[in-house]
Amino acid sequence: MRILYFGDVVGRSGREPVIARLAELRKTLKLDFVLACGENAAGGFGITAKICRQFYEAGVDCITLGNHAWDQREIIGHIDGDPRLIRPLNYPKGTPGRGAKVYETAGGRKVLVVQVMTRLFMDPLDDPFPALDRVLGQHRLGAAVDAVIVDMHGEASSEKMALGHFCDGRASMAVGTHTHVPTADAQILPGGTAYQTDIGMCGDYDSVIGMKKEIALPRFIRKMPGERLAPADGEGTLCAIFVETDDATGLARRIAPVRLGGRLEEAMPTL
């Protein structure tokens, strides 16, 4: 199975290239399943139902969220009725939406998507480790499902690395989102799980993690609140991760970064 996961989509500069280029990428990489982290898609803060529809129409199969899940208040009433929208699993009981779901591809294969949010330097949610352990125990890779995708949404690289090793052998891939900077550690762990600490963002890299630098810089220099942060609006770079799994086991055979357009050096796997 071939899977593509777009990192945090930040504002219009991130949305437009994802929507414009996904059909081409689906064909070139012969993709079976596509995800995007959409929690910054609406002006850098949250996502709307309209943007969800635009992603689905473009060919995205599942959208993940994160710590900005509820920034656009309309999504609170929308998420229960949108089975393709995933928020962190370890929100407290009673939170709207779902943190894990099994999807079926056009070819009939079953894919479990799980998102957890880490706790170091983040909101103190429930412990992600036992929450993840329960779901992985209920959906055995290579038996109940053909692929398992784990999104680790968090700030600390150490915590995401720990979660990656915790998933090793039980997930097809465990990849990080949230920090908006692509890490250079794409690898297959000893147990067969594809891992990268952070996919990076889809957005304008002439910025401060996707936000206009002329607004973000004074906050660091003066240590005072100022103008509301807004997404940079230059040409966006697509940052994604491509994973190919073994059809028999569901474990990873290959992991490779995808970077297209904008300021970063391009990278594209060949089949």
Cβ partners under 8 Å of residue 270, min gap 6:
none
The dihedral built from the CA positions of residue 36, 40, 46 and 52, taken in this order, carries a sign that is negative
What is the b/e burial string over 182-212, where b = at least 16 CB atoms within 10 angstroms of the residue's CB?
Answer: bbeebebbeebbbbbbbbbbbbbbebbbbbb
68 is catalytic: yes
Three-class SS string for 79-100?
HHHCCCEECCCCCCCCCCCCCE
| Alpha-carbon distances of 111 from 24, 91, 145, 161, 228, rounded to whole Å | 22, 22, 6, 23, 39
Phi, psi angles (nearest 5°) of residue 188: -105, 120
Report the phi/psi class of residue 121: left, alpha or beta, with left for phi > 0 and alpha for psi in -120 to 50: left
Catalytic residue, from 68, 153, 178, 180: name it: 68
DSSP state of 231: B
Tokens of 63: 């959208």
CB 132 within 8 Å of CB 114:
yes
Cβ partners under 8 Å of residue 31, min gap 6:
2, 3, 4, 25
Q: ∠ at Cα 50 (47, 55), nearest 5°? A: 80
Nearest to 254 by CA among 264, 244, 239: 244
Catalytic machinery residues:
68
